[in-house]
A and B are shown apart, each in its own frame.
Chain A
Amino acid sequence: MQKSIQKYFVLFALPGLLCFAIAFLVPMVMGVVLSFFKFSTVTDGTFIALENYRRIFINDDFTSALWFTVQFTIVSVITINMGAFFLSLLLTREVKGTNLFRTIFFMPNLIGGIVLGWIWQVIINGVLLKSGVTIVSDPKYGFWGLIVLMNWQNIGYMMVIYIAGIQNIPHDLIEAAQIDGAGKLTMLKSVILPSIMPAITICSFLTLTNGFKLFDQNLALTAGDPGKQTEMLALNIFNTFYGRSGFEGVGQAKAVLFTILVAIIALTQLRLTRSKEVEA
């Protein structure tokens, strides 16, 4: 058995590897290479070394998008995880209809980002209509709109992960804690939280990277309006690449920086939360 697995490893791994190479590896390598070129179509270009990277900072587009993204990510990571954890606590108690509620909370996650963006744009504009403004009248509406949207979409998903974590806590551990006279708060702090650290790691990783990579929702909800003030990194890169002639290489260079940045942040976060995980 072992032998034949080894024998056919290549055969079975090939389709996956091929897809990975075509859809991920090749474009990524091409992307990095292209960031050192000046080009208008991706098939021809002239080498200009680091010029593209210098041109990223000729105006403050990129840095302001970065700042907006960081603010958004911090707020959304906190709110999504708190919300999801709170819901999972509620829905692991033995009350009627938990399955129904789990499904309902999960459902927004099944809708695509663009559609969600449009839906929320209509809803938010409808609410703001009363005060005679729209979501693009002020960047702070856009910011909080995005937060609400992301919470609505992601809480259900993270909740499922937390629920799985909570359900995996051994029953005897909880019983032992109860017998030892642990109150609700102590239980939460000393039993539940340490035991679901792996779930917290995953959820914070997902929300963190989702926050940084956010594109569809941003595009559909505000498209960066008013005047790029709600433009996040991914959208800024897209607009630089496609929206400005002669700036394709700069967009590409921004994308490379963006990748490095997200990788560093995500890895640091993984290391930090991993160190807090315990074996039950």
Chain B
Amino acid sequence: MKKHLLIALMIVSLAMSTALFAAGSKESASAKEVYFLNFKPEIADVYESKIAPAFEAETGIKLKVVTAASGTYAQTLKSEIAKSNPPVIFQTNGPVGLKESKGYTADLTNTGFYKILSDKSMALTDEGKVLAIPYAVEGYGIIYNDAIMRKYFALPSKAVSITSADEIRNFATLKAVVEDMTKHKSELGIQGVFASTSLSAGNQWRWQTHLVNVPLHFELRDANVPAGSKVPEIKFTYSANMKNIWDLYLNNSTTAVGLLGSKSVDDSMAEFALGQAAMVQNGNWGASQILGVKGNKVADADIKFLPIYTGIAGEENSGLNVGTENYLCINSNASVEQQAMADQFLTWLFSSETGKQFVKNDLMFITPFNTFKDNELPTDPLAKEVIRWMNQPGVNSVPWAFSVIPSEEWKNQFGAALAEYSVGRSTWAQVEKVAVDAWKTEFDLTN
């Protein structure tokens, strides 16, 4: 009898404890909380330690920030969105990414967040509904360390006639300067002109997406393809230009070609920050990776941008690659209340005084919102450079054409082909073949 009592007691206590747990989790879900799935690991800290507490202090709404590890956003979103407490705010990278998440994207037409967008045409729409709003305009090119460049131009034995990095306005000049710098490596105190061409898994996006944008843009321009339209196949007309710059990167690098497979973007940025390399291809989002590196040796004033020159006719007039791949969406499956809180957070972040300070000083975004005055633009050296290039008369920014790339798989295959070519296991003709063939198959598969 006693035993029975014991068992009965145990069952009751077990049942009670589960009931307690259940009640506990329910409570936390219904509290005022907005779940934001962040895309950028480099600024995850800012959201977690600065913005979330400030927002909670001002509005009483808790901001839950989860950051997907580099290169895993799509898969993280996919599994998070199926959970019972899914992200309310998430990111999409453009029309191709949006297509994937259309099923659960809310219409933002009547939100405060949409109202502050200065150029409404920048938002992504579908059948009259506003589905995604850009929050940061970014630019990329070749970042260079002007101190090293000045040192080079002061060398008596330099082989070029120009006297400053500002005068590099085409590929021929760039190549002459870079190759001559490589010859004077030891005098300049660098290990290579370019930081490592990172080719390790998940670190190829600077090439398979960003670098290929240059030949891609010019090809689409020649063919008069309007922005945002579908591109069923490419010819890779400017393949030779891509090869120009790619070979230049490889042959004048801090790292031997065979070892590039182990290098990450972080490695490259660190090499630049430590003064081991004079140039690195990246965008203004990399500012924190230069300024934040321990032992950073580059003075803010020396961090400058150069467009990616590849030897295409008329490239003197083209500037940095400027565009956006950062759009925010709100989950339509979240409760109305949560959607409203999400809108409240985004509007707060990009229009309130506190929010704007974070955007300007910590997130360092160049935003497309009308709430920012000219003196509220970010002050980090790279963002300033992007703005300078955008406003340079006679220079047109190269828009981000890579949003027409049919799928991530194309990027992966192209990246793998570049890697194979780099270590000498295949020829450039094979890279071209992969680019053209994979584009066609991927387009057919995804459309």
Interface residues of chain A, those whose CB is within 8 Å of chain B, are 8, 11, 40-44, 58-59, 121, 125, 129, 131-138, 222-228, 242-246, 248
Contact = CB atoms under 8 A, between A and B. Distances in A.
A137 B258 contact: yes
A243 B409 contact: yes
6 A-B pairs closest in CB distance? A227-B416, A242-B75, A223-B201, A136-B261, A134-B261, A133-B258
Main secondary structure of the interface of B (DSSP, over half): helix
Interface in B403-429: 407-409, 412-413, 416-417, 419-420, 423, 425
Given A137-B423, A224-B201, A226-B420, A246 B100 contact: yes
A133 B407 CA distance: 30
Given A243-B408, A244-B409, A138 B419 contact: no
Given A41-B82, A225-B201, A245 B100 contact: yes
A226 B425 CA distance: 10
Main secondary structure of the interface of A (DSSP, over half): loop
A223 B201 CA distance: 7
B262 A125 contact: yes
B256 interface: yes
A226 B262 CA distance: 11
A134 B110 CA distance: 53
A227 B100 contact: no
A225 B82 contact: no
A138 B425 contact: yes
B434 to A, nearest CB: 9
B445 A134 contact: no
A133 B103 contact: no
B74 interface: yes
B295 interface: no
B261 A245 contact: no
A136 B200 contact: yes
A40 B100 contact: yes
B78 interface: yes
Contacts of B132: none
B232 interface: no
Given A245-B74, A246-B100, A226 B261 contact: yes
A44 B102 CA distance: 13
* Size class of the B contact interface (CB-based, 8 Å): 35 or more
A40 B200 contact: no
Nearest to A238: B75
B377 interface: no
Contacts of B425: 137-138, 226
Contacts of A44: 103
Interface of B: 7, 11, 72, 74-75, 78-79, 81-82, 96-97, 99-101, 103-104, 199-202, 256, 258-262, 407-409, 412-413, 416-417, 419-420, 423, 425, 441, 445-446
A227 B208 CA distance: 13
20 contacts: A40-B100, A40-B101, A40-B103, A42-B82, A129-B259, A133-B259, A134-B258, A135-B261, A135-B262, A136-B262, A137-B423, A224-B201, A225-B261, A226-B261, A226-B420, A228-B416, A242-B72, A242-B74, A244-B409, A245-B97
A55 to B, nearest CB: 8
A133 B423 contact: yes
A243 B446 CA distance: 13
A13 B259 CA distance: 55
A134 B199 CA distance: 11
Contacts of A135: 261-262
B283 to A, nearest CB: 23
Given A137-B258, A243-B409, A227 B446 contact: no
Nearest to B76: A242
B323 to A, nearest CB: 21
A225 to B, nearest CB: 5
Contacts of B79: 242
B328 to A, nearest CB: 19
A58 B2 CA distance: 67
A82 to B, nearest CB: 32
A132 B258 contact: yes
A144 B260 CA distance: 20
B259 A227 contact: no
A242 to B, nearest CB: 3
Given A227-B416, A245-B407, A132 B259 contact: yes
B416 A226 contact: yes
A46 to B, nearest CB: 11
A242 B78 contact: yes
